[in-house]
Structure 1
């Protein structure tokens, strides 16, 4: 469940949700809420959504520069840093059930889209989240048109990299997909399926 930071406009008691209770909303103190709840409160004009740091113009320009740099032409901008695994004593002798062997993967990193997110890293659901925030809360951005343009450029560059990377499959080489987002994977699925079918 994606969390975003909201700045309440009015008081609201805490809510009991399936993912756990939320803290009470007290203006003007920011709070992290699930994306769906933040969008609902925004529609009701009870809160403003604070865009994550990676969705600011400066951060997007920095990420776009990284993506278009010739030295990093074959890699994608880094995804958020994963938290370290906690050292908890295993419940069982089975190494697969040991808590310290379980690691979080990119779609489930906490705070990747809140105000505490890294400015230089795109989260796994960057495309979906940016679309929703720009569609439903454009007034919460300093320059929404510029952000849209940068996101469009970033998406085109990354899709070009993906297609170029999959062309090397004909030579038997592998493709490194670290930092690729969920929507990007879904978009190239048909292209990859055609490539794999052609290799058979």
Structure 2
């Protein structure tokens, strides 16, 4: 899932506004909202609130958690705990970004609130990086982290899957070296290359252009270890 898709989901959060116009109830795919009466609070999706605010048709009522004291308590708890603490909602960053970006004048102490939210994000990202580093160092195949939001999970998407794939391949090479007592660095490189080609064939259901070249190389090689013959047969057959 891409960041803009997460933001799209977060824009469906329900918040309160005070409209400065009067209108009947409106019917949308996501539900019905209204009626709108000037000066009377009404609940609408976040995206609709931002759209009306940009047209100067309403005032946004900040969520209860968007308060300096509340956020300072969240920040201190996050700093004290080794684990991730539960955030006000799943899309706090999307909500903060849109409200503070389009309706900052409706939020008391908006600059200070923006700074605290950024501090909370940085603390949580530091914890997340530390957790990922510990996972990679221990060679674990999975980890459990509670109370992460969708945007925070998405932030490690560009790095973690590729890193785990490379870790798995290195573990396979290490296992082969241990089991077969292979001491030659050339053996290790050839084994790694063969597995890369094999994975490519499985995932793409087609032969790698260099398969037959590799096969011929091994057929005429002086390296006669059993594991080479087995893998060579697997690639060719």
Q: What SS does structure 2 have at the residue aligned with 1:52?
A: coil
Q: Give the match for residue 62 of structure 2.
A: 51
Q: Give yes or no for the alignment of 1:160 onto 2:171.
A: no
* Aligned partners of 1:127 and 1:181 also within 8 Å: no
How far 1:44 sits from its partner (Å)? 1.5
Higher RCO by CA contacts (8 Å cutoff, separation 6 or greater): 1
Alignment: residue pair count:
155
Deviation by residue 1:5-59 (Cα, 9 ceiling, x = unmatched): 1111222221111122212112332211011111111111111111111221111
Bigger fraction of residues in helix? 2
Q: Give yes or no for the alignment of 1:30 onto 2:41.
A: yes
Q: What SS does structure 2 have at the residue aligned with 1:55?
A: coil
Selected match of 1:60 from 68, 71, 77? 71
Partners in 1 of 2:34 and 2:114 — Cα distance?
32
Give the TM-score taking structure 1 as reference length.
Answer: 0.72
Structure 1 unmatched ranges of 5 or more: 79-120
Q: Give yes or no for the alignment of 1:77 onto 2:88.
A: no
Q: CA RMSD in A?
A: 1.5
Give the TM-score taking structure 2 as reference length.
Answer: 0.62
How far 1:198 sits from its partner (Å)? 3.2
* Aligned partners of 1:6 and 1:30 also within 8 Å: yes
Q: Give the match for residue 5 of structure 1.
A: 16
Q: What SS does structure 2 have at the residue aligned with 1:195?
A: helix
Partners in 2 of 1:18 and 1:28 — Cα distance?
26
Please identify the structure whose Cα radius of gyration is greater. Answer: 2
Q: Give the match for residue 31 of structure 2.
A: 20
How far 1:164 sits from its partner (Å)? 0.6
Partners in 2 of 1:58 and 1:15 — Cα distance?
36
Q: What SS does structure 2 have at the residue aligned with 1:4?
A: strand
